[in-house]
């Protein structure tokens, strides 16, 4: 049987998902200058518009506040949109380290983060995350209260493994783009970015130190999903 996702959903569904995202964000996270400027600044600079949706950004902030997060680590900054949501959710003495491979994206993000008034709380480390993590380790960064994994998808399992060792008990590890239109369960899909999401879920299942679930999402960015793992006490 062919994998059904493409046949089941069409442009009309996408329009509805986007409209509902707009409705939810309009009521529950209304227009905000710094976030709007972050999106506009990224678009002007030609960055791909693949940031989390406004409701997802709010979810990240609510998760951080729910656990009283003070320290956070993000894989994949892009223009700093999710970074701003997370940075705002941390207390004044909190800090957030965000890892971005592309120096020009990091420049855009830095400007957006400054405009949002978060420069003192947020540090961007530029380079491929697997190459910048050792320096982070040497600097004694962590333990982290919340980790958001949203960079190159093939490395999600590696980022999870690294983060798990450095997330405090009661902390959360959240990973974006783990469902990818349902490709997660399409065993014939051998795209490394997809295979990695299966390996990631197997790691979550096998790991006694976390309790995890994945929530499928539809919205302005289509059909995807977020994994949320609570690190055990």
Select from 35, 150, 183, 204 the one that contacts Mg ion (CB under 5 A).
150
Using alpha carbons, list the distances in angstroms from residue 12 to 15, 22, 79, 120, 177: 5, 15, 29, 43, 22
Quick one: what does residue 123 bind among Mg ion, ligand DHB, ligand SAH, none, with the CB cut-off 5 to 8 Å set by partner type? none
- In the bound state with ligand DHB, the residue whose beta carbon lies nearer, of 81 and 94, is 81
Quick one: what does residue 61 bind among ligand SAH, Mg ion, ligand DHB, none, with the CB cut-off 5 to 8 Å set by partner type? none
User: Could you count the other beta carbons within 10 Å of the beta carbon of residue 65?
Assistant: 14
By CB under 6 A, the residues from 68 to 87 that bind ligand DHB are: 76
Residues 99 and 132 sit within 8 Å (Cβ to Cβ): yes
129 binds ligand SAH (CB under 6 A): yes
Helix (H) or strand (E) holding 35: helix 33-44
CA distance 203 to 145: 20
Quick one: what does residue 82 bind among ligand SAH, Mg ion, ligand DHB, none, with the CB cut-off 5 to 8 Å set by partner type? ligand SAH
CA distance 214 to 228: 6
51 binds ligand SAH (CB under 6 A): yes
Nearest distance in Å: CB 159, ligand DHB: 12
Residues 49 and 39 sit within 8 Å (Cβ to Cβ): yes
224 binds Mg ion (CB under 5 A): no
Binding mask 93-112 for ligand SAH (x = CB under 6 A): ------xxxx--x-------
100 binds Mg ion (CB under 5 A): no
177 binds Mg ion (CB under 5 A): yes
Q: Secondary structure of 99-148 in the HEC alphabet?
A: EECCHHHHHHHHHHHHHCCCCCCEEEEECCHHHHHHHHHHCCCCCEEEEE
Select from 175, 176, 204, 218 the one that contacts ligand DHB (CB under 6 A).
176
197's tokens: 């999401």
- In the bound state with ligand SAH, the residue whose beta carbon lies nearer, of 167 and 205, is 167
Nearest to 133, CA basis, from 106, 103, 150, 158: 158
By CB under 6 A, the residues from 85 to 144 that bind ligand DHB are: none
Enumerate binding residues for Mg ion (CB under 5 A).
Answer: 150, 176-177
């Amino acid at each position: 049987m062919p994998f059904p996702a493409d046949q089941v959903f069409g442009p009309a569904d996408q329009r509805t998902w986007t409209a509902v995202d707009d409705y939810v964000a309009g009521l529950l996270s209304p227009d905000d200058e710094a976030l709007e400027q972050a999106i506009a600044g990224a678009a002007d600079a030609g960055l791909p518009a693949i940031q989390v949706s406004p409701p997802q950004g709010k979810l990240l902030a609510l998760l951080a506040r729910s656990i009283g997060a003070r320290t956070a680590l993000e894989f994949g900054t892009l223009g700093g949109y999710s970074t701003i949501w997370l940075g705002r959710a941390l207390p004044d003495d909190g800090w957030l380290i965000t890892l971005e491979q592309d120096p020009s994206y990091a420049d855009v993000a830095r400007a957006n983060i400054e405009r949002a008034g978060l420069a003192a709380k947020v540090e961007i480390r530029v380079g491929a995350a697997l190459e910048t993590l050792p320096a982070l380790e040497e600097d004694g960064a962590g333990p982290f209260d919340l980790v958001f994994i949203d960079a190159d998808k093939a490395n999600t399992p590696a980022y999870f493994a690294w983060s798990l060792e450095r997330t405090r008990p009661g902390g959360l590890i959240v990973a974006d783009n783990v469902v990818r239109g349902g490709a997660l369960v399409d065993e014939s899909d051998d795209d490394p970015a997809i295979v990695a999401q299966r390996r990631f879920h197997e790691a979550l299942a096998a790991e006694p130190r976390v309790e995890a679930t994945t929530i499928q999402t539809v919205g302005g960015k289509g059909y995807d999903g977020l994994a949320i793992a609570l690190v055990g006490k």
